[in-house]
């Protein structure tokens, strides 16, 4: 096993053992149950206004924002544990004594945390959709549902990867307390105070349109909504997947580039900091 794989395996195990994980999964399961039960009580109203598939997709899409916010919070926690917490406990110093390139440590940590998020996001979505199906039944096209949910998992993985990569950068450049404060401030500003709304307004000014293309939250929602309305979003029942993809692929490419850039910046900063 090469050094990057060893670091990745250790990072995955460290994150998976953290007590915040079962609490997080339990919270999301309760959230999904409450959401599905609430929509079941309103089923008669929805069935009169919409067909079955539309009702099913409304039930799923209703939870996209809280699920996205929850995973962003978990990404912040894992990013903080990965660098700032390890440095505070001294375990990072032990890792640096091993015959590893410092970039291998960062890449290994990214792969380990990324593998963890692939697993937990996928399991959460499976639980989520299974509960929705138990309440609402299956949609007409399971293949369409599968490809849409797989794409959403990929998008959420990109967004969480950027988030924990940014928080890792804070841990590299700052001490534990400063990194934690800045991480919480970033998450609150982006999600709780809806920076996306601010940048959306700013992009109405031609000279400032580029802001939406570099703001992670704005980019995430532009990709999900195909820069349109709820009728054009990824999980809109009447919106064919490839019609959505045709409008959203530029934003997906930018999200991938953001993740690559944050990895490169983390590697460069960590090498310089510890040299």
Each residue of 59-107: pLDDT tens digit?
Answer: 777 778 888 888 988 898 888 877 766 666 655 555 555 556 778 888 8
- HSE-CB for 191 with a 13 A CA cutoff: 20
Of the candidates 4, 182, 189, the one whose C-alpha atom is nearest the C-alpha of residue 105 is 4
Q: How far apart are CA 200 and CA 209, in angstroms?
A: 9
pLDDT value of position 152: 94
CA torsion through residues 132, 134, 135, 138, sign: positive
Matching residue, tokens 């929850």: 70
DSSP 8-state class, residue 206: G
Q: How far apart are CA 101 and CA 42, in angstroms?
A: 57
SS (H, E, C) 10-56: HHHHHHHCCCHHHHHHHHHHHHHHHHHHHHHHCHHHHHHHCCHHHHH
Each residue of 232-246: pLDDT tens digit?
Answer: 788 887 788 999 999
For residue 241, what are its two tokens?
């997947």
pTM of the predicted structure, to 2 decimals: 0.84
Of the candidates 31, 7, 234, the one whose C-alpha atom is nearest the C-alpha of residue 127 is 31
Helices and strands in the chain: count of H runs, count of E runs: 14, 0
pLDDT tops 50 at residue 275: no
pLDDT tops 60 at residue 198: no
The three-class DSSP label of residue 63 is coil
Distances (CA, A) of 193 to 7, 27, 217: 36, 22, 11
Each residue of 214-223: pLDDT tens digit?
Answer: 678 888 888 8
Q: Which residues contact 232 (CB under 8 A, 6 or more apart)?
A: 225, 226, 239, 244, 247
């Amino acid at each position: 096993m090469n050094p990057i794989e060893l670091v990745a395996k250790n990072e995955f195990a460290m994150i998976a053992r953290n007590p915040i994980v079962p609490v997080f999964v339990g919270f999301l399961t309760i959230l999904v149950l409450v959401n599905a039960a609430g929509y079941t009580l309103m089923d008669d109203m929805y069935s009169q206004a919409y067909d079955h598939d539309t009702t099913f997709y409304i039930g799923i899409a209703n939870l996209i924002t809280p699920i996205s916010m929850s995973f962003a919070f978990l990404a912040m926690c894992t990013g903080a544990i990965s660098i700032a917490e390890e440095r505070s406990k001294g375990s990072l110093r032990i890792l640096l004594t091993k015959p590893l390139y410092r970039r291998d440590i960062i890449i290994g940590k990214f792969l380990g945390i990324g593998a963890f998020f692939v697993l937990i996001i996928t399991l959460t979505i499976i639980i989520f959709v299974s509960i929705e199906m138990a309440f609402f039944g299956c949609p007409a096209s399971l293949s369409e549902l599968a490809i849409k949910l797989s794409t959403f998992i990929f998008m959420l993985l990109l967004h969480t990867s950027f988030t924990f990569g940014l928080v890792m950068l804070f841990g590299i450049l700052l001490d534990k307390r400063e990194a934690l404060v800045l991480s919480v401030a970033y998450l609150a500003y982006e999600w709780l105070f809806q920076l996306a709304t601010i940048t959306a307004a700013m992009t109405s000014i031609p000279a400032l349109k580029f802001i939406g293309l570099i703001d992670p939250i704005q980019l995430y929602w532009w990709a999900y909504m195909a820069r349109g309305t709820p009728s054009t979003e990824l999980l809109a029942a009447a919106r064919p997947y490839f019609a959505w993809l045709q409008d959203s692929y530029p934003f997906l490419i930018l999200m991938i580039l953001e993740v690559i850039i944050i990895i490169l910046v983390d590697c460069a900063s960590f090498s310089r900091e510890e040299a």
